[in-house]
């Protein structure tokens, strides 16, 4: 069945999440536990993917994560996420994480992540998503870069399947 969906702009699903680092979020060094941050990243990424596709989604891939600077207890953590690229049923979401010391106002860039989600229909099959409406040069560059990452990801997936 041919189905033509209306384009959606990046701004329509862009989402910001703010968290505070509590004692139960830190590791033995007093810095934010990586698993907790990954949980927040994946939760936010899925919200953006759901808002773009207006359907259920599953995470199919998370690119390597680099923790660039530590986040400490009491810090305010801001996660910003948006769609970089959409294929037929998949979406690449970028998440950027920064932190702020609430007392000194000192800020840091902590982490950047790329996640891929697939929209699912009510039977659990991949479902077509709206094309992305690119409205700026920056969005066009992000789209092209994401397209290259996507090819690399699929190449790695196929290599992994052969080696396994």
Stretch near ligand COA under the rule CB under 6 A, chosen from 3-11, 28-36, 99-107, 152-160: 152-160
What is the SS3 assignment for 76?
Answer: strand
Q: Smallest distance, Å, CB 84 to ligand COA? A: 13
Out of 15, 31, 55, 59, point to the residue binding ligand COA (CB under 6 A).
Answer: 59
Q: Between residues 70 and 126, which has the closer beta carbon with respect to ligand COA?
A: 126
Query: Is residue 19 involved in binding ligand COA (CB under 6 A)?
Result: no
b/e 129-161 (16+ beta carbons within 10 angstroms → b): bbebebeeeebeebbeebeebbeebeeeeeeee
Of the candidates 129, 127, 132, 155, the one whose C-alpha atom is nearest the C-alpha of residue 143 is: 132
Binding residues (CB under 6 A) for ligand COA: these are 58-61, 87-90, 116, 118, 126, 153-154, 157
């Amino acid at each position: 069945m041919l189905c033509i969906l209306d384009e959606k702009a990046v701004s329509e699903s862009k989402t910001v999440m703010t968290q505070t680092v509590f004692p139960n979020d830190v590791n033995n060094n007093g810095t934010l536990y990586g698993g907790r941050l990954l949980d927040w990243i994946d939760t936010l990424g899925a919200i953006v993917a759901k808002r773009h596709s207006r359907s259920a989604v599953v995470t199919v891939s998370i690119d390597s994560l680099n923790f660039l600077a530590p986040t400490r207890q009491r810090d305010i953590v801001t996660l910003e996420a948006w769609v970089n690229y959409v294929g037929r049923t998949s979406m690449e979401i970028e998440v950027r994480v920064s932190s702020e010391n609430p007392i000194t106002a000192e800020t840091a860039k902590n982490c950047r992540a790329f996640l891929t989600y697939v929209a699912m229909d009510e039977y659990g099959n991949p479902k077509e998503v709206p094309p992305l409406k690119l409205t700026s040069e920056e969005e066009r560059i992000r789209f092209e870069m994401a397209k290259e990452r996507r090819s690399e990801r699929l190449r790695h997936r196929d290599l992994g399947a052969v080696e396994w």
